[in-house]
Chains A and B, each alone.
Chain A
């Protein structure tokens, strides 16, 4: 049973996605069914994490006599679709399943007045399938297929409130951006397939050189995944999509964005890991994009008056920290002394920031959704004095805002602490930009807090009340995680993050499918 976990992680939510439309006549049943499916998938991902931490790499070969039979007798190259799950993939799978569950829970009340909810939940589960496929697969073409699934499901969800023109526009934009990125990914996969005749990432990484065709493939893959993860200056789709998507989908869409970041790391460290000496320049490109992303993202956020748009720009800004952290590690990948001195910690900071950001940004976007739920507007100019009416949402917002601003002892601080210190060792200017960005982030959230929650009460909202219980529970779970991850960062780092970093650095383990040969 355990050996089939990687396949079941896809099969269960896929089964849920195809059965949810059968509950068309009862939206509550559809919501409960989807929540149940996400809860089961979350349980399986916890088991998967446990297994991967024991075995280091889990392999699943589709259609083989045994799930671990990578090379049937007589074959010198893998021919079947192979899932290869290491600690990095397992960490992302855990994030995806946790956020899908939280999103489904939050959606129960948040979208209950919408129509077509069976499609909503089916798409949520399909989005989860897309993300899980991307982070579990060890096959390049399979990665493209799941990237497409996530892109199509995501764009349908962005445009879900199609009675709003802006939502339809954002959905179409997301679809076009996803299609352009996916097509270019497919093109570069075609280049590599034409050259090496195989699609398995582990096998390709043993063969790859750094000739012109490889470089072109790398450049296209890098740019496409950078656009899909919202890196500046290809970030424009993010505010549109995050603002218009229902807040219950925001957590899963956020993980979908970081699944592309995962793909970027997988390409850089695993697929092209063999040519680490050439990857230093890629690391520097990542660092520069990271700094640009964090600074432009935060300065754009500062001038927004739409609360979700403001938070969307912050999502862009925080992606910069992840790019910077992992970029520092990639820049010193070919220098063992620097990698041991600060590169590994930089990568840990970047990857820890992915989890932290997924948690607190989901929380913040949910609080924005709660504000929209009670006021019917996202315009901060029209809000005020809501802290008295919405105490749980206010506390959740304070925790999320403190975490994103890097205020101790919340989770954002721990990862930023690692990024500041390690980036400083590569180049002090990088750390200065990162710290200035944090200050501006705090300033921006002070603005949201002052204008939405503080100040005199607004007459229109005299009778508003706290949001329904399922929304409060979802927000409280995330707020508690922000506090726990901040108070005990070492536990998360030792159990999840450093194994993920080491998995990315352990190229020989990945190339031999965890030693199953």
Chain B
């Protein structure tokens, strides 16, 4: 099939055809739907069954329990605290530092190009 081949992106070590990928996606979606449709039919919307259950405790105001952006990935950020401390020190927001970085990088690049490394 020439048209299919013409839509195949060939790379040095493999290939990528988005239309084939879509076809597989559809097949897997159908398989997923078949598995889903054979599931438990006991679900009853608009009953006590669908309300959140937190070990029997009363559920707080729904707005109070939303996860805010600053709390997402706090573990990741905490684990990389040392790395982030250095990064934050780099980002002072001071214009003079921006120019210093430029001069520093320029000096290193010139040093490499002139034959220092």
User: With A409-B22, A456-B66 known to touch, is A223 a contact of B12 (CB < 8 Å)?
Assistant: no
- Within 8 Å by CB of A409, from B13, B18, B112, B113, lies B18
Interface-facing stretch out of A68-76, A152-160, A201-209, A443-451: A443-451
Query: Is there contact, CB below 8 Å, between A218 and B113?
Result: yes
Residue in B69, B77, B110, B113 whose Cβ sees the most chain A Cβ within 10 Å: B69
Query: Is there contact, CB below 8 Å, between A223 and B6?
Result: no
- Within 8 Å by CB of B7, from A285, A380, A490, lies A490
Q: Is A417 interfacial (CB 8 A cutoff)?
A: yes
- In angstroms, how far is the closest chain A Cβ from the Cβ of B62? 4
Q: How large is the interface on A (under 10, 10 to 19, 20 to 34, 35 or more residues)?
A: 35 or more
Query: Is there contact, CB below 8 Å, between B77 and A303?
Result: yes
- In angstroms, how far is the closest chain A Cβ from the Cβ of B18? 4
Query: Is there contact, CB below 8 Å, between B105 and A459?
Result: no
**CA of A448 to CA of B72, assembled, Å:** 10
Chain B residues whose C-beta falls within 8 Å of the C-beta of A172 in the assembled complex = 95
Interface-facing stretch out of B27-35, B37-45, B83-91: B83-91
Chain A residues whose C-beta falls within 8 Å of the C-beta of B14 in the assembled complex = 421
Query: Is there contact, CB below 8 Å, between A451 and B69?
Result: yes
Q: Is B9 interfacial (CB 8 A cutoff)?
A: yes
A444 closest partner in B (C-beta): B73
Query: Is there contact, CB below 8 Å, between B63 and A456?
Result: yes
Chain A residues whose C-beta falls within 8 Å of the C-beta of B102 in the assembled complex = 180-181, 223, 227, 234
**CA of A418 to CA of B66, assembled, Å:** 40
Query: Is there contact, CB below 8 Å, between B106 and A233?
Result: no
**CA of A491 to CA of B95, assembled, Å:** 44
Report A281-308 residues with CB < 8 Å from chain B CB: 281-282, 285, 296, 299-300, 302-303, 305
Binary CB contact string for chain A from 396 to 426 against chain B (1 if under 8 A, 0 otherwise):
0000000000001100011001100110110
Binary CB contact string for chain B from 15 to 57 against chain A (1 if under 8 A, 0 otherwise):
0101101100000000000000000000000000000000000
Query: Is there contact, CB below 8 Å, between A345 and B11?
Result: yes
Query: Is there contact, CB below 8 Å, between B11 and A285?
Result: no
Query: Is there contact, CB below 8 Å, between A305 and B87?
Result: no
- In angstroms, how far is the closest chain A Cβ from the Cβ of B58? 16
Q: Is A43 interfacial (CB 8 A cutoff)?
A: no
Q: Is A64 interfacial (CB 8 A cutoff)?
A: no
Q: Is B67 interfacial (CB 8 A cutoff)?
A: yes
- In angstroms, how far is the closest chain A Cβ from the Cβ of B87? 6
Chain A residues whose C-beta falls within 8 Å of the C-beta of B87 in the assembled complex = 296, 299-300
Q: Is A236 interfacial (CB 8 A cutoff)?
A: yes
Chain B residues whose C-beta falls within 8 Å of the C-beta of A384 in the assembled complex = 63, 66
B94 closest partner in A (C-beta): A236
Query: Is there contact, CB below 8 Å, between B9 and A489?
Result: yes
**CA of A383 to CA of B70, assembled, Å:** 12
- In angstroms, how far is the closest chain B Cβ from the Cβ of A138? 25
Report A211-227 residues with CB < 8 Å from chain B CB: 212, 215-216, 218-220, 222-223, 226-227
**CA of A458 to CA of B98, assembled, Å:** 39
Query: Is there contact, CB below 8 Å, between A236 and B113?
Result: no
Binary CB contact string for chain A from 165 to 185 against chain B (1 if under 8 A, 0 otherwise):
000000011001100110010
B16 closest partner in A (C-beta): A417
Decide if the interface of chain A is mainly helix, strand, loop or mixed: helix
**CA of A350 to CA of B107, assembled, Å:** 26
Binary CB contact string for chain B from 74 to 88 against chain A (1 if under 8 A, 0 otherwise):
001100100110010
- In angstroms, how far is the closest chain B Cβ from the Cβ of A317? 13
Q: How large is the interface on B (under 10, 10 to 19, 20 to 34, 35 or more residues)?
A: 35 or more
Chain A residues whose C-beta falls within 8 Å of the C-beta of B19 in the assembled complex = 487
Q: Is A486 interfacial (CB 8 A cutoff)?
A: yes
Query: Is there contact, CB below 8 Å, between A488 and B113?
Result: no
Chain A residues whose C-beta falls within 8 Å of the C-beta of B112 in the assembled complex = 281, 285
**CA of A181 to CA of B91, assembled, Å:** 19
Q: Is A88 interfacial (CB 8 A cutoff)?
A: no
- In angstroms, how far is the closest chain A Cβ from the Cβ of B1? 14
User: With A409-B21, A425-B12, A490-B7 known to touch, is A455 a contact of B66 (CB < 8 Å)?
Assistant: yes
**CA of A455 to CA of B83, assembled, Å:** 31
User: With A487-B19, A490-B6, A493-B9 known to touch, is A234 a contact of B98 (CB < 8 Å)?
Assistant: yes
**CA of A417 to CA of B22, assembled, Å:** 17
Chain A residues whose C-beta falls within 8 Å of the C-beta of B16 in the assembled complex = 408, 413-414, 417, 489
A306 closest partner in B (C-beta): B69
Query: Is there contact, CB below 8 Å, between B97 and A236?
Result: yes
**CA of A222 to CA of B113, assembled, Å:** 11
Query: Is there contact, CB below 8 Å, between A490 and B8?
Result: yes
Query: Is there contact, CB below 8 Å, between B101 and A236?
Result: yes
Query: Is there contact, CB below 8 Å, between B91 and A421?
Result: no
**CA of A489 to CA of B7, assembled, Å:** 7
Query: Is there contact, CB below 8 Å, between B101 and A180?
Result: no
A342 closest partner in B (C-beta): B12
Q: Is A341 interfacial (CB 8 A cutoff)?
A: yes
Residue in B63, B72, B101, B104 whose Cβ sees the most chain A Cβ within 10 Å: B72
Query: Is there contact, CB below 8 Å, between A300 and B63?
Result: no
User: With A215-B110, A380-B69, A409-B18 known to touch, is A490 a contact of B98 (CB < 8 Å)?
Assistant: no
- Within 8 Å by CB of A223, from B22, B70, B91, B105, lies B105
**CA of A177 to CA of B98, assembled, Å:** 8
- Within 8 Å by CB of A458, from B63, B65, B70, B99, lies B63
User: With A422-B12, A425-B12 known to touch, is A223 a contact of B98 (CB < 8 Å)?
Assistant: no
User: With A173-B98, A233-B90, A486-B18 known to touch, is A451 a contact of B68 (CB < 8 Å)?
Assistant: yes
User: Can you list 16 A-B contacts with CB-CB less than 8 angstroms, sorted by A residue number?
Assistant: A180-B99, A180-B102, A215-B110, A219-B109, A220-B110, A233-B90, A233-B101, A234-B98, A234-B101, A236-B97, A236-B101, A237-B98, A381-B70, A447-B69, A455-B66, A456-B62
Which 3 A-B pairs have CB atoms at the shortest separation, nearest pair first? A380-B69, A409-B18, A451-B69
